[in-house]
Amino acid sequence: MIHPPVPVNEKERLKALHQLNILDTDPEEEFDNITELASYICGMPISMITLVDETKQWFKSKIGTEMCDSGRDISFCSHAILEPENFMEVKDTHKDERFKDNPFVNAGKDSIRYYAGVPLVNGTGMALGTLCVIDTKVNKLNKRQIKALKALAKQVEALFEARHKNYLLEEARQDLDDHNTLLKDFAGVVSHDMKMPLAHMVLTADVIKKKYGDLLGEEGIKYLDQLKKSGLNLSDYITGILNHYESEKIATSALEEIDLHNLLEDIIDLLGIEEDCEINFPKKNVNIKVNRSALEQILLNLISNSLKYNDKEKIIIDIDFKETPKFYTFTIQDNGIGIRQEEQKNIFKLFSTLSVIDRKGNKGHGIGLSTVKKLVTNLGGTVKFESELEKGTKFTFTVQAT
């Protein structure tokens, strides 16, 4: 018996093999289908997909044998991978110097008497193992069978490549998830740490204005008002960031049964509306079972935008609701300034802002609608809108009904 030598590119070959992350994994139907086809097409009782590691050959799939692996030094496949570009066929192992004293060749009635293997090669030319067929009697393959076995080997290689790409994608996704988690934690910590100093800044501006306003004069008062306005804007911005990154937590809150009109009234109270405004609720009040926190955040953002981005003397907001067995559908329509056509494709992107200022002269932060979409998606729904400049906007969103 001749032991197989180590390939000249063994270090690189083993690295490529281990990058597949396939050794000692569970059976998979895609691979088992190929070994079954190989056995059937070649008329052989045994077929295997083998991978040659440092010390052993391991079978990713096998038909006709109960073995899980064997020593590399006595494996037929360790010889086959020495010539990655060639098909290896041993018609009678008793007449081949490499194998005639092999323990598998002298194992009684289950002895290997015939072997044919196609090396499985990756994209860089590394032979990782073989697709092989085995018989307990002298045999040979015809040209059509050899061609079919090679074609099946190509399919195994394609599965290996797809598996490797999926692993890399999963690894990249995990890295992105880890970085996203770090970013969320950072944003949360920084935002919380900034809220208190900002509150003190706004309060201090009010105190200075009240106690020393006469001394400061009109110009000094103007600077204090600007300082307070900037502090409040930054505080709103930070609140928006916190709401955006905490939206996933909100979306996992427990479901509860709510009165829709009561929920809307609570939201209107939170907004503290001072403008001349008419808000029309759905004609029919209903009780629905939903994630109250998430739905409240969605409606709060949309109704708030209808108030802010409105230049009409009287603001009109129509809220409607429809129910199907699978979804609750909400619409919020206003008579506001509308959204420019060229800006409509980006309104749900985080930090994407419109080129307009709101009713109080402030520019948006581009967080609210991104949060709305994130919450709606987490609730199993979709959100869309229609808008016409100077005439208004209608948002329609769904959430899964229970």
- How far does Cα 122 stand from its chain's mean position? 27
% of the chain exceeding 70 in pLDDT: 89
Top pLDDT among 90 and 241 is at 90
How many C-beta neighbours within 10 Å does residue 263 have?
Answer: 16
The listed CATH number (3.90.76.10, 3.30.450.40, 2.30.30.90, 3.40.50.2000) that belongs to domain 10-169: 3.30.450.40
pTM of the model: 0.53
Which residues, other chains included, contact 113 with Cβ-Cβ below 8 Å and sequence gap of 6+? 92, 93, 94, 105, 135, 136, 137, 138, 139
Question: If pLDDT is split at 50, 70 and 90, which confidence band does 365 have?
Answer: low
Distance, CA of 22 to CA of 163 (rounded, Å): 9
Which residue did the predictor score with more confidence, 348 or 45?
Answer: 45
Instruction: Note the pLDDT tens digit of each residue in 4-46.
Output: 899 999 999 999 999 999 999 999 999 999 999 999 999 999 9
Topology classification of domain 251-400: Heat Shock Protein 90 (3.30.565)
Domain ranges of the chain: 10-169, 251-400
CA distance 286 to 247: 25
Q: 235, exposed or middle or buried, with CB in 10 Å at 0-12, 13-18, 19+?
A: middle
Q: Which of the four pLDDT bands, split at 50, 70 and 90, describes residue 183?
A: low
Distance CA 48, CA 45 (A): 10
Residues in contact with 300: Cβ distance below 8 Å, sequence separation at least 6, in sequence order: 267, 270, 271
Residues, the chain, total? 402
Is the per-residue pLDDT at 244 higher than 80?
no
| Domains 10-169 and 251-400 equal at CATH topology level | no
Per-residue pLDDT band at 373 (split at 50, 70, 90): very high
Report the b/e string of 362-391 with b at 16+ CB within 10 A: eebbbbbbbbbbbbbebbebebebebeeee
Give the whole-number percent of the chain exceeding pLDDT 90: 56
Q: In the chain, what's the furthest Cα-to-Cα distance? A: 112
How would residue 262 be classed by pLDDT, with cut points 50, 70 and 90?
Answer: very high
Distance CA 12, CA 8 (A): 9
Best-predicted range by mean pLDDT among 150-159, 210-219, 221-230, 301-310?
A: 150-159
- Strand-pairing partners, residue 130, are 50, 119
